[in-house]
Amino acid sequence: MTRTRIHNLSMSLDGFATGEGQSLDAPMGHAGQRLHEWMFATRFGAPILGRQGGTTGVDDTFAQQHEPGIGAEIMGAGKFGPPGWQDDADWRGWWGPNPPFHTPAFVLTHRPRPSIEMEGGTTFHFLDAAPAAALDAAREAAEGQDVRVGGGPTVVRDFLAAGLVDHMHVVQVPIVLGRGVRVWDGLEALEEEYEIEAVSAPSGVTHLTFDRRSA
């Protein structure tokens, strides 16, 4: 059965998964790259910044699980572009002509537009839909593979609140952002619904995996 998964969701010690002040020049707001430095150091993440090599330890092992078995992605408007991208008819996402998804990708926005077919197998579809309806569309497109909820934190929180996430990988990064967008607000006692494991890495981050308990 198709599962709904979240991978490589980095957050600060105070629970922020993105900083304040997102813009074209600052996709993660004032957080910059600090939430994801652990990933960019790995063999999985180094190519994202055009780097060679990268580490092959525990951080890379977790990061690599982002890709296998994914047939579609769901993302929020803030992951697709900076505030105001809906007013730019030519905006096609942050990632250039060949985005890294290589699957159908569903962008949740109150201002849908026609789908955009990109190189490498990515097609962006724009939906004004609640989490359950968006997941139904993504599951159909995934053709039996899993659906990844790719963020940002508001979308992740909405899917968790709706009880739609089967597996989640959170990376707690030892920094304090102080402001931004939190993940956990309103999700009191979420831990009761999941089996949770923690693995500390030499880089200083902690990998937390959440797997939904069997009924």
Distance CA 84, CA 24 (A): 10
pLDDT score recorded for residue 206: 98
Per-residue burial over 109-145, b if 16 or more Cβ lie within 10 Å, else e, is beeeeeebebeeebbbbbbebebeebbebbbebbeeb
Distance CA 70, CA 48 (A): 19
**Cα 124–chain centre separation:** 15
Distance CA 148, CA 142 (A): 10
What contacts 128, CB < 8 A, 6 or more positions away? 108, 109, 110, 111, 112
pLDDT score recorded for residue 92: 97
pTM, two decimals, is 0.95
Sign for the CA dihedral angle at 54, 60, 63, 68 comes to positive
Distance CA 125, CA 114 (A): 7
pLDDT score recorded for residue 87: 96
Q: What is the block-wise mean pLDDT of the chain (215 residues), using blocks of 10 residues?
A: 95 97 94 96 92 94 97 97 95 95 97 96 98 98 97 96 98 98 96 97 98 88
Token pair recorded at residue 56: 């092959």
Token pair recorded at residue 210: 């959440």
pLDDT score recorded for residue 208: 98
